Amino acid sequence: MQPLLGLSRLVDAITERIGKAVSWLILVAVLVSAGNAVIRKAFNMSSNAWLEAQWYLFGGAFMLAAAYTLSQNEHIRIDIVYGMFSRRVQHWIDLFGHVFFLMPFVLLMVYYLVPYVRMSYLSGEVSSSAGGLIIWPAKAILLAGFILLALQGISEIIKKIAVMTGRMDDPTPHVPTHAPLDEAVAPEVRP
């Protein structure tokens, strides 16, 4: 199990570094968007390349940070239901979801995206918009994001099994975001 936990730590370190680095793409996308809007309003000019660059940047941030979000246990779930269960049951729910939903989906996406990106790259596919950008980098970002998500999914499965078998402490203990109803009601309101 130790070699698998070592692999998990390596994947976590890679996704953390990438996730934190690509967060800057949001700032760049905002600056490009603001600059494009100012130029359009002030000079009555527009550029399809700059418009497409915005969605490249935002898409890159979203796809390349998805694995980091998973590693931080920050993906959206129904906390109202999830929080009602013991931490052991939550681990089982997470493991089941990773094995039977996350991994089949991301592996299928990688399988279909490899030829999709390859064909786009080899054909030199460009945007159908006048003055648009080449398309294959955006498709390659999709592929890279799903590969990172698949690797992080494997890491999460390894960690869930290690936590459930007592081989490691829970790296992300779940804390419910909502207090139980009887604790949330002020003492003077209680009957």
- Helix then strand then coil, in percent of the chain rounded to 5, is 75, 0, 25
Residue 151 pLDDT? 97
List average pLDDT for each run of 10 residues in the chain, which is 191 residues long: 90 95 92 89 85 90 93 78 82 92 96 96 88 90 96 96 90 60 49 50
Cα 90 from Cα 73, distance rounded (Å): 12
Name residue 33's amino acid: S
126 φ, ψ to 5°? -125, 165
The DSSP letter of residue 72 is T
pLDDT, tens digit (0-9, with 9 covering 90-100), for 73-91: 887 776 777 778 888 888 8
Alpha helices in the chain (DSSP H): 2-22, 24-43, 48-71, 79-82, 87-97, 103-123, 136-164, 181-184
Which of 145, 135, 136, 134 shows the shortest CA–CA distance to 110?
145
Please give the C-alpha separations between residue 171 and each of 8, 12, 80, 152, 177, in angstroms, as whole numbers: 12, 11, 21, 14, 18
